[in-house]
Amino acid sequence: MAFERRKRPESSESALQSLADEELMALVAKGQARAFETIYERHGGAAFSLAYRMCGSRSLAEDVAQEAFLSIWRSGGRYDRARGSVRTWVLGIVHNRAIDALRRTVVHERRRASDEGIEERFEARERTEVEAARREEASTIRGMLETLPDEQSRVIELAYFGGFTHSEIAEMLGAPIGTVKGRMRLGLEKLRGQLAPQGAMP
């Protein structure tokens, strides 16, 4: 049946723009499509970038981002601000969806995607200030990762971006599982230490 776009009694777009993410999520929980669209506008770029970094293919990244955002829409009421920012929540969902997608694919295909250093092949098209800020943020965090000993950043990247389990990583690197887990912990501790003084978290 036909439905008319943008005719429902919802908050106006400019009013929505002025709301904080947390307030928008309360509207999303009530089924307000425009509030959801504003959330997408704010976080769709970071979400797609993460999905693309993990999947290494545009089409898979699009599928992952679509699944993630639809699940966000359908479970909007589950966002709990006590647990952190909306952005962190959104990216956590994208990450989980991407891991699920990666684990459905064959291991060596994944390895290629995560090893290739996709880096800047598809640069963001819009050079807005927001984009510029995101690029800077990305390179700051990448810089921090690069300061870790290779063996630590490697296991973190394989796990977080590659979607590999600790035992897959152990096999790939020819290292004992306990060693891999230990490197993950050391790497995260070190990263945490670098973040704290700069208050870099949103």
Partner 1 sequence: MITGGNGDHARFGDDVAPWLLGALAAEEREAFERHLAACGRCREEVAALRPAVEALPLAAPPVAPPPELRDRIMRVVESEAQLLQASGESADRPERARRPERRRPRRWFVSLSPALAAAACAVVAAVGVGGYLIGQSGSEGGGGHVVAAKVSFPAASASVRTEGEQASLQLANMPAPPPGKVYEVWLKRNGQMPRATRALFVVRSGAVTIPGGVGDADQVLVTAEPRGGSLVPTSMPVIVANTA
Q: Is residue 108 a contact residue for partner 1 (CB under 8 A)?
A: no
**Is residue 81 at the binding interface for partner 1, with CB under 8 A as the rule?**
no
Q: Does the footprint of partner 1 cover residue 17 (CB under 8 A)?
A: no
Told to check if 110 binds partner 1 by CB under 8 A, we report no
Burial class of residue 39, CB neighbours in 10 A (0-12, 13-18, 19+):
buried
Nearer to partner 1, 110 or 163 (CB): 163
Amino acid in position 72? I
Give 15 or 185: the residue with its C-beta nearer to partner 1: 185
Among 16, 24, 72, 113, binds partner 1 (CB under 8 A): 72
Interactions with partner 1, residue window 159-178 (CB under 8 A) = 159-161, 163-167, 169, 178
On the CB side of 143, how many CA atoms lie within 13 Å of its CA?
9
Q: Tokens 């490697």 — which residue?
A: 154
Encoding tokens for residue 101? 């997608």
113 makes contact with partner 1 (CB under 8 A) = no
Copy the structure tokens of residue 117: 């250093």
Which member of 11, 57, 118, 172 binds partner 1 (CB under 8 A)?
Answer: 118
- Residue 9 or 174 having the CB closest to partner 1: 9
Residue type, 148: L
Distance of CA 161 to the CA centre of its chain: 9
For Cα atoms 57, 89, 79, give the angle at the middle one, nearest 5 degrees. 135
Q: How many residues interact with partner 1 (rule CB under 8 A)?
A: 95
